A and B are shown apart, each in its own frame.
Chain A
């Protein structure tokens, strides 16, 4: 059982390398239930990798990453961590939703089937019940009439909204967004951000890697600026954006704003 003050996600000295390149060089971070954390930073700063570590799509090399007080992807026995079995890993991932830059909708399934796939195959919910909930979710993301469409028949913005609904269908404790609007045409960005703002307002815990500084300023409860695998600066989004302390933050913000 977790006490009310315990963080939902806790990262301590998280390191990760791809071959010779160390992409995460000691990340320390707490995310509490209901937080909306935005992570900004130049490409190659390790923010997407960090996000992928949170649902163990990437393995960390050292440090500790915990969800609800339990190590992510590992089982602790005394002083050793052993990687979870495939089945336990899947069970763990089912409580963390993820939205990808390139949507990654299943192209051979309709929008509705994309949403019901997890509840039916993973949670074992009856197809009828799953479909009913999927329709509600589609309505929530403003796509009530699009359930029968295949991903290729939808615009990028619509696909991303289906992808959000797909993640929500698993009733996750935490939603991860990996640059959700970076692959979208500029005029489609707004509709996706609108859905994300709604989720934030409803109290969903979210970690969002993004280049949308405006969204971060309005919707985030906490903002992190990452560069070269470390957290350079963090705090209240308005404060960080309008009054950055570090040179690198200033340089990055002046380049993107």
Chain B
């Protein structure tokens, strides 16, 4: 069969019976040609060259000192740092989530003072760098030489210098947690607002109190929006914990810094820290993808979330007419 790629000449020669017959034949054999995309192949070539250059540098540049990286990768001191990073992430997120729910509920409250205070909190903690917040809290004793817990303007139960309560770890957990609460508040608020108001009406109409309506109807629906975003926040928090290295808390980054300040093997130890951060964020990302898939499944649209992991797959699926030409 001849393969004619000229545009379809519909019905222009219908009068001629012979031509009509061959046209039918040709129609049966008609194929849509793959659109040539030379630009795409040029881009791939350029990228491959760049990747090769990077790979070459990684292997041949002796200053990367991969042997040192290998030496410290499973070092006990580094593991101690990893453990502290995980503790910090967990505790700060706990404060963040609980604080965030409280702030979100306050923000949506009908009580104008509560709502305003919540907005003020969020404005301050989102509007200043978390690094500054960590430093302020760490230097609280300069501001309040003596802190006490007791009845306002009345007797104290406990009192002392902030330095005795706020050691590096506590400071870090509180500062990161309070900062996170501001971000979580917006996420929780978004989740609560995304639940259709008719749901509250329906819950009220069957005789639910506000608390029951929140517990059984609104929150379970808001969770679908809140949980995936919270996963993102956990990943962000894990990396953000590195900033508390400024208050000499030996989490992963500062543990690496302690070693290289002694050995001067700066780059290899930063690589060790980076590798472990990547390992942890990758595990968390995988967990988050599963979580999103879980929550997306019962969702109305199945198209949400779950990005393809395979770069190859995404290149392939975006290539047109792969199936058509067989």
Q: Which residues of A contact B (CB under 8 A)?
A: 55, 57, 86-87, 90-91, 93-98, 100, 102, 104-108, 117-118, 121-123, 150, 152, 163, 166-167, 169-170
Report the bound CA distance from A150 to B206 in whole Å.
19
Given A108-B220, A108-B298, A152-B300, check contact A170 B198 (CB 8 Å): no
Contact residues in A for B290 (Cβ distance below 8 Å) = none
Question: Are B205 and A90 neighbours in the complex by a CB distance under 8 Å?
Answer: no
Report the bound CA distance from A163 to B206 in whole Å.
11
B207 lies within 8 A of chain A by Cβ: yes
Contact residues in B for A55 (Cβ distance below 8 Å) = 204-205
B196 lies within 8 A of chain A by Cβ: yes
**Residue interface mask B175-207, A partner, CB < 8 A = 1:** 000000000000000000000101101111111
B124 lies within 8 A of chain A by Cβ: no
Ordered nearest first, which 8 A-B pairs have the shortest CB separation? A94-B207, A118-B206, A104-B202, A98-B205, A104-B198, A122-B207, A90-B209, A93-B207
Report the bound CA distance from A91 to B220 in whole Å.
23
Question: Are A122 and B208 neighbours in the complex by a CB distance under 8 Å?
Answer: yes
B294 lies within 8 A of chain A by Cβ: no
B74 lies within 8 A of chain A by Cβ: no
Contact residues in B for A104 (Cβ distance below 8 Å) = 196, 198-199, 201-202
Given A117-B216, A122-B212, check contact A106 B199 (CB 8 Å): yes
Question: Are A86 and B209 neighbours in the complex by a CB distance under 8 Å?
Answer: yes
Contact residues in A for B205 (Cβ distance below 8 Å) = 55, 57, 93, 96-98, 100, 167
Contact residues in B for A163 (Cβ distance below 8 Å) = 202
Given A57-B201, A94-B206, A100-B202, check contact A108 B221 (CB 8 Å): yes
Report the bound CA distance from A169 to B207 in whole Å.
12
| Most-contacted residue by chain A among B199, B202, B205, B221 (CB, 10 A) | B205
Contact residues in A for B198 (Cβ distance below 8 Å) = 100, 102, 104
Q: How far is the CB of A206 from chain B (nearest CB, A)?
A: 15
Q: How far is the CB of B304 from chain A (nearest CB, A)?
A: 14
Contact residues in B for A102 (Cβ distance below 8 Å) = 198
Contact residues in A for B202 (Cβ distance below 8 Å) = 98, 100, 104-106, 163
Contact residues in B for A167 (Cβ distance below 8 Å) = 205-206
- Identify A57's interface contact among B199, B204, B300, CB under 8 A: B204
**Residue interface mask B294-318, A partner, CB < 8 A = 1:** 0000101000000000000000000
Question: Are B300 and A90 neighbours in the complex by a CB distance under 8 Å?
Answer: no
Contact residues in A for B207 (Cβ distance below 8 Å) = 90-91, 93-95, 118, 122-123, 170
Report the bound CA distance from A152 to B298 in whole Å.
10
Q: How far is the CB of B225 from chain A (nearest CB, A)?
A: 12
- Identify A90's interface contact among B196, B204, B216, B217, CB under 8 A: B204
Report the bound CA distance from A100 to B209 in whole Å.
19
B210 lies within 8 A of chain A by Cβ: yes
Q: How far is the CB of A55 from chain B (nearest CB, A)?
A: 6
Question: Are B206 and A107 neighbours in the complex by a CB distance under 8 Å?
Answer: no
Report the bound CA distance from A123 to B217 in whole Å.
16
Closest-by-CB residue of B relative to A105 is B202
Report the bound CA distance from A161 to B212 in whole Å.
24
Contact residues in B for A106 (Cβ distance below 8 Å) = 199, 202-203, 217, 221
Q: How far is the CB of B230 from chain A (nearest CB, A)?
A: 18
Contact residues in B for A93 (Cβ distance below 8 Å) = 204-207
Report the bound CA distance from A93 to B201 in whole Å.
11
Report the bound CA distance from A229 to B212 in whole Å.
34
Contact residues in A for B211 (Cβ distance below 8 Å) = 86
Closest-by-CB residue of B relative to A52 is B201
Which residues of chain B from 209 to 230 have a CB within 8 Å of any chain A CB? 209-212, 216-217, 220-221
Closest-by-CB residue of B relative to A94 is B207
Closest-by-CB residue of A relative to B216 is A121
Report the bound CA distance from A86 to B200 in whole Å.
14
Contact residues in B for A86 (Cβ distance below 8 Å) = 209-211
Contact residues in A for B209 (Cβ distance below 8 Å) = 86-87, 90
Contact residues in A for B298 (Cβ distance below 8 Å) = 108, 150
Report the bound CA distance from A97 to B204 in whole Å.
10
